[in-house]
Chain A
Amino acid sequence: MGKLNFIGRMSTIVCLSAGITVGGHVAANAEDIVIWGGFPELQGYYERVAESMKSTHPDLNVIVEPIGLRDHEKRVALALSSGLDETTVFELIGSTANRYIVNDLLPSAPANVAGFVNNAANFEPFFQEVAAVDGKVYGVPIFRGQGALFYNTDMFAAAGLDGPPKTMAEYTEYAKKLTQRDASGNPTVSGWSLRLSGGGGGIAEKFWINLHQFGGSLLEKAGDGYKASYANDAGLAALRQYVEAVSGDKTVTVEMPADAAAFQREQTAMFIRESWVIGDTAKKAPNLNYKTALLPRGSIALPVNLYVAGGSEKAQKAAWEFAIEANKPEHLIWMLDNVGWLPNRSGVDYSSVTTAKPQFSAFVDLPDDYAFFTLPSIEPINEILTRFAAKLTEAYADSSLVGNDAAMMAVLEESAAETNKILDRAGILGK
């Protein structure tokens, strides 16, 4: 019975090893705080903040545990709904945190923290609003995702263009000039890389960014609720631009490589993306010549805040102090420089970074009328985006829509009806 002996031998080894593993796991003590993030690239930043707290809190033990965004959101949902044992600092997008707050699963910030957040010298009203619910502060703003145009200066020069496009009409015009084609006319390098396929709501989010440049919005406030607001001229203009690009001018195709990787490989001349692309490009394509530019009207801004829950009062106090410490200018400058996410705190001098890496200036040096929008904090937001994305993917690939405004409008109207149905079901459809 060689087999059974083998199992016997293995089980001895395992029982020994399991003993060690379980024994090695130490229960959390009062001075432990755990940082849960959805952006693994920020690990170094949080460790740095923890390090600088060492002098004032010698006993404090900060455990930084980031994991990919999707998995992070799942574990937060499970942990918060089943009760927390240890003090945890949560890194959450404002619209995501909202649902935990309205269900009483995240406590509001203590007075001193609320004072820090509400201080006009620290944060712009936009960020204060996202950190609060019904005027009460729950989170500490930290960084945000924000878009800008990235463009390849070599390709622009080769096409005889000496600056970035300034209007949406110019985007189309530039894309035509920038597209490189093979002998049979098929594009080999896209003029303007658009998000045309892939998983989830990202497609709709990117559409929204373009729609915003035409003065439109996916959803608008109506009374106490929301309603779809893209079945109109702005929506049509945005969709028309996509359809023309794919099936009319063929400046980009669905199958072409896209996004940051395509830009870094010089397979596209320009695209709209967040600031992390700068750090990523420095690592993967350090010799790429590119610049960034403001978008014609404004950008999406997805603010991420820090929230605290669970554990002893003493540890919670330390956790809130951590959230404030994380907003120290030196740490924020380090984050912008080394990670590439944009800090939210005002009054910090980022010029040392923007001089060395001028690409950041289109993210931090903004005109006063630059218009931001963000995803509304409503429960079905993801469902709305995902379902609209499915409709958009089909429309982008449908060459029969070229030049047919009525058909495009029909697509938008059908989607808008679906969006409104979802809002209605959630009880938040405005009239």
Chain B
Amino acid sequence: MSSALVAAPNSNLEGKDKVSRKKRFWFAIIAILPTFAIFGWVRMFPIAETLRLSLFEWNLLSRNKPFVGLENFRELFQDDQFLDAIINTAAIAFGAMAVTIPVSMVLAAVIYHRTRSRFAGFYETAVFIPHVVSLVPAAMAWKWVFDAKLGPLNRLIVAFGGEAQPWLFDPVLSVICIILLVSWQTLGYGVLIYLVGFRNLPKSVYEAARLDGANGVQSFFFMSVPLLKPITLYVSVVTLISGFNVYAQAFILASDTQGAPGRLVRVLVLDMLENSFQNFRVGYAAAEAVILLVIVLVLTGVQFGLLRQRGRK
């Protein structure tokens, strides 16, 4: 390994460069091929198969599967439930992203700062566990937190002189409840990723900054935040995409088991699943998937544009 670490002057000979470029290309192709093949088989093929259905009308069972062209899309844009679902889903995705990124970054910075503390393991585990716990029993606890009459959240608000709110029933507040639940779940994910980022930052840079008199907060904003841009891009894309994929949280907060119902916040995936498995309109649900794909692809493209970076030089 030591020989590789010796920096050599760049020797840019045209011909040699072409040969090595070709060699690198083939390495890249061969290295990625197995993964690409698996992707093709278990992701791209079934997805393409699903998306194709958006041009058909199919009830999941019938052999009869008439081609309807863009009819499903035309109907979608007049469907109140679908439009409602898009707005709710976008609000949840952006809301969860806006909470997760700053909070997990700061939390990770503080936990990283306290790496030597004997509680470091506890902090990381405590933040991460909500990400892996089963949703149904956890959501029961959350419903209690949000409860209009006796929930601790409202008690807190009242104690500070505010007015108790019907958290799970108001059209706006119920969306906020889902954002909080989703953020609670994804926070551990973000912290884990940022911690890896912090641990991989070159310590020499910080050392230099400290000698120049920068304090912790300054080096966080002027060193860590820009250096962690690739990680922030990752976390923001992942939270946005998973935000658009939310449905179990919405379903569970509205379910009336244990006598505590809530307002059903209609989200895209819930609408799709209902359309394919309960309304038996597979083609229509596939059209929704196409629209979801287009929206999120565009948003992800924007994120890549905003957080563009070159490889570290």
Contacts and interface: CB of A to CB of B under 8 A. Distances in A.
Interface in A197-234: 197-200, 202
Given A100-B61, A198-B264, A260 B169 contact: no
Given A73-B277, A99-B280, A198-B255, A379 B262 contact: no
Contacts of A386: 274, 278-279
A99 B61 contact: yes
A255 interface: yes
Contacts of B280: 99, 379
Contacts of B148: 255
A402 B281 CA distance: 37
A197 B60 contact: no
Contacts of B263: 197, 393
Contacts of A255: 148-149, 166, 168-169
A234 B169 CA distance: 28
B69 to A, nearest CB: 16
Nearest to B263: A197
Interface in B113-153: 148-149
Contacts of B266: 390
Question: Interface extent on B, as a size class?
Answer: 20 to 34
Per DSSP, are chain B's interface residues mostly helix, strand or loop, or mixed? loop
Interface string B148-177: 110000000000000000101100000000
A183 B19 CA distance: 87
A257 B259 contact: yes
A204 to B, nearest CB: 13
Contacts of A262: 259
A261 B260 contact: yes
B2 interface: no
Contacts of A256: 149
B259 A199 contact: no
A258 B260 CA distance: 6
A387 interface: yes
A312 interface: no
Interface residues of A, number: 38
Contact of B259 (A103, A254, A261): A261
B165 to A, nearest CB: 10
A382 interface: yes
Given A77-B61, A100-B61, A103-B61, A254 B278 contact: no
Choose among A198, A261, A397 the residue with the greatest number of B CB atoms under 10 Å from its CB. Answer: A198
B230 interface: no
Interface string B84-107: 000000000000000000000000
Contact of B258 (A200, A261, A393): A261
A254 B62 contact: no
Contacts of A103: 61-63
A237 interface: no
B83 to A, nearest CB: 13
Interface in B272-292: 274, 277-281
Contact of A202 (B81, B256, B281): B256
Contact of A77 (B168, B258, B260, B277): B277
A199 B251 contact: yes
A10 B279 CA distance: 45
Contacts of A200: 264, 274
Contact of B166 (A99, A254, A258, A261): A254
Contacts, number: 86
Given A77-B61, A198-B261, A255-B169, A382 B279 contact: yes
A202 B251 CA distance: 14
A198 B61 contact: no
B238 interface: no
A105 interface: yes
A390 B266 CA distance: 10
B279 A258 contact: no
B242 interface: no
Nearest to A386: B274
A197 B262 CA distance: 6
A380 B61 contact: no
B59 interface: yes
Nearest to B280: A379
Contact of A74 (B81, B277, B281): B277
Contact of A383 (B254, B260, B261, B278): B278
A254 B171 CA distance: 13
B61 A105 contact: yes
A54 to B, nearest CB: 36
A382 B259 contact: no
A36 to B, nearest CB: 16
A103 to B, nearest CB: 4
A262 B258 CA distance: 8
A136 interface: no
A255 B167 CA distance: 9
A240 interface: no
A403 to B, nearest CB: 23
A195 interface: yes
A264 B258 CA distance: 10
Contacts of B257: 261
A70 to B, nearest CB: 8
B61 to A, nearest CB: 4
B197 to A, nearest CB: 17
A80 interface: yes
Interface in A242-258: 254-258
A134 B255 CA distance: 37
A256 to B, nearest CB: 8
17 contacts: A73-B277, A77-B277, A81-B60, A103-B63, A105-B61, A195-B256, A197-B169, A197-B261, A198-B255, A199-B264, A202-B256, A254-B166, A257-B260, A261-B260, A379-B59, A383-B281, A386-B279
